[in-house]
Structure 1
Amino acid sequence: MRNEPRTQRHTEHSGRPAGAVYADRGSSHFDILLAAMVTVVILSGIGAAKGVSFGTIPGTGFEILTDGGFFLFPLAYVLGDIVTELYGPRAARRAILTSFAVSILASLSYWVLIALPPFPDAYGLAKQEALELALGPVWIVVLAGLAGFLAGMSLNSLVVGRMKSRMGERGLVGRLITSSGLGELVDTIIFCTIASRAIGITSLEQWAQYTILGVLYKVLVQYAMIPVTSAVIRRLKRTDPSYQERLAAAA
C-alpha cells in the first residue's frame, strides 16, 4: 500500500473516480496562486470601501452603483477556480482560510494605524482625518467581504470538486460556468447586505441596484475569462510533474 500512487489509494477508500486527480501543493505554482489570491482579496477590501456611481441609465431610473473593488475582485474567483481544479478542494479551503486570516490582520493593522497619534501640525492632522475617512469603514467592508468570500468561494470550490469527482478531466468549462454563477451570487448578496451602509448606500432601492449590478458584472467577467482560465489550467496541468504523474497512475 505504501508504494501505491496517492490517487489510487484515495479512490479505493472514497469511491472517487480515478480521473479526479490533483497536483501536489508542494508544486511551485501553488504558492504563486495563493499569494495572488491573498493580494487580490486585501486590495479589493480597501477598494470596496469607496462607493462608485456611473450615473443613471437613461430612461430607466436604474442607477449604476458599485464599489472601488469591482474591477479586481472577480480575479479572486478565477484564481480560486484554478486552485480548486489543479490542487483540489482541500487546497482551495487552505487558500480561502489564508486569505481570511491575512485580511483580518490587515484590518487590525488599519485600526492600529488610525489609533496611533499623528503629528500635531495642520498637515499631520489633515492626514489623520483622511486616513480615518478612507480606512475607518474598511473593517466593515472587510467583514462583509470575508463573510461573502468564505460562503461564495466555499460553494464555488465544492461545486468544482464534486463535478470533477464525477467527470474527471472532462467538462472543465461546464465546471467553471456552474461554479462561477453560484459562488458569485451567494458572495455578492452577503457582501452587499453587510457593506452597503459603510460605502454610503442607504435605501432598499440602492441596495437592490448595487446587488443586481454586482452579480451580473462579476458573473459576466468570470464567464468572459473562462477561455483564459481554462487555458491557464490546462497549461499548469501539463507543466506540473506531480499532476502528470498522478494522471498517468490513474489511467
Structure 2
Amino acid sequence: MNAQNSAPDTLPSPTSGRPAGAVYADRGASHYDILLALMAVVVILSGIGASKGVTFGTVPGTGFEIITDGGFFLFPLAYILGDVITELYGTRAARRAIITSFALNILAVACYQVIIILPGFTDDFGTAKQEALALALGPVWIIVLASLCGFLAGQSLNSFVLSRMKARAGERGLIGRLLSSSGLGELVDTIIFCSIAATAIGISSVGQWAEYTILGFLYKVLVQYAAIPVTAAVIRRLKRTDRSYQQALARAQA
C-alpha cells in the first residue's frame, strides 16, 4: 500500500525500536489553523481583560493581598496551546503562531484607538460611553506591549526547551518536557509582563508588584501543571489523527 496515502492508526510504542527523533506534522494539512486561531483569540481577549486590576482580598493571617488582573483565567491557555503547537509542529510553527497572534493583537489595539478617536454622540449617554471606552480600552496598548515582551520571551524559551528535549527523546518523555518547559517560560514571562503592565493595571507600590508577580507566576504554573494530563491526552490524540504526523513518524522510523 502507498505510504503517502495511508498512515498507522496508532503511534509506534515508545519502548520498541530505535528512537524516531523529533517528528512534526505538516501545517498545511492538519489542525494547525484551528490551534492558531484559538491562540490569537485567547491573546486578544487576555489583553482586554488584563487592563482591569482584580483583588480577592488578603490571605487570612498573612497580610498577603491576592492581586491579579481580569485576564488571569485566559492567559495560561495561550501557553497550553503553545505547548500543543510546538509538540506537533515544531518551533518554527510555534514562532509563527506567536507572531501572528500578537500582530492581530496590535491590529486590535489600533482599532481600539480609532474607535476612541472617532467623534461620538454629544448627549449625556454618548459622552458617558466615550469616557468609558477611553478608560477601559485606552490603556490596553500598554498591556499588549507587556504581553508582547513577556510572551515572546517566555513562550520562545518554552518552545525552545520543549523542542530540544523532544529532539533528544523523540516520542518519549512527553509529560517530562511539558513540566520542564512550562515553569521556566512562565517565570520569564510573568516578571517581564508584570513589570511593564503594573502601572496600567493600577499597581503603585513595590509590595503590590511583588504580590502580583508571585501570585501570577504560581497561578499560571499550577494551572499548566494541573492541565498537563489533558494537554498530553490532546497532543496524543492529535498525533494519532493527523495523517501528516503519522507519515513523518513512519519515515523517521523506516
TM-score range, shorter chain: over 0.9
Q: Which runs of 5+ in 1 are unaligned?
A: 1-16
Q: Does the CA-based 8 Å contact 2:20-2:171 persist in structure 1?
A: no
Query: 1:4: which partner in 2?
Result: none
Aligned-partner SS, 1:79: helix
Q: How far has the Cα of 1:100 moved from its partner? A: 1.5
The question of 1:141 aligning with 2:143 is answered: yes
Q: How far has the Cα of 1:28 moved from its partner? A: 3.3
Separation in 2, partners of 1:246, 1:225? 27
Query: 2:159: which partner in 1?
Result: 157
Query: 1:242: which partner in 2?
Result: 244
Q: Which runs of 5+ in 2 are unaligned?
A: 1-18
Q: How far has the Cα of 1:188 moved from its partner? A: 0.5
Separation in 2, partners of 1:111, 1:142? 13
Aligned-partner SS, 2:60: coil
Q: How far has the Cα of 1:249 moved from its partner? A: 1.1
Give the partner amino acid of 1:201: I
Separation in 2, partners of 1:136, 1:249? 52
Separation in 2, partners of 1:87, 1:28? 10
Query: 1:6: which partner in 2?
Result: none
Aligned-partner SS, 2:55: strand
Query: 2:21: which partner in 1?
Result: 19
Give the partner amino acid of 2:81: L
Aligned-partner SS, 1:23: coil
Separation in 1, partners of 2:202, 2:50? 11
Separation in 2, partners of 1:58, 1:107? 39
Q: How far has the Cα of 1:18 moved from its partner? A: 4.0
Separation in 2, partners of 1:192, 1:34? 25
Counterpart selection for 1:56 from 58, 65, 83: 58
Query: 2:15: which partner in 1?
Result: none
Counterpart selection for 1:204 from 182, 203, 206: 206
- 1:171-190 equivalent positions in 2, closer than 5 A: 171-190=173-192
Give the partner amino acid of 1:242: S
Counterpart selection for 2:108 from 92, 97, 106: 106
Query: 1:213: which partner in 2?
Result: 215
Query: 1:128: which partner in 2?
Result: 130
Separation in 2, partners of 1:148, 1:27? 31
Q: How far has the Cα of 1:59 moved from its partner? A: 1.1
Aligned-partner SS, 1:54: strand
Separation in 2, partners of 1:76, 1:58? 32
After superposing on structure 2, the runs of 4+ consecutive aligned residues of structure 1 that deviate more than 2 Å are none
The two structures have a TM-score, normalised by structure 1, of 0.92
Aligned-partner SS, 1:26: helix
The two structures have a TM-score, normalised by structure 2, of 0.91
Cα deviation per residue 1:1-42 (whole Å; 9 max; x = unaligned)?
xxxxxxxxxxxxxxxx74211000012300000000000000
Separation in 1, partners of 2:81, 2:174? 15
Give the partner amino acid of 1:153: Q
* Aligned length in residues: 235
Separation in 2, partners of 1:100, 1:151? 13
Q: How far has the Cα of 1:77 moved from its partner? A: 0.3
Q: Does the CA-based 8 Å contact 2:84-2:231 persist in structure 1?
A: yes
Query: 1:80: which partner in 2?
Result: 82
Q: Does the CA-based 8 Å contact 2:24-2:245 persist in structure 1?
A: yes
Give the partner amino acid of 2:89: Y
Q: How far has the Cα of 1:124 moved from its partner? A: 0.5
Cα deviation per residue 1:70-128 (whole Å; 9 max; x = unaligned)?
00100000000000000011100000110121111111111111111111111110000
Identity of aligned residues (%): 77
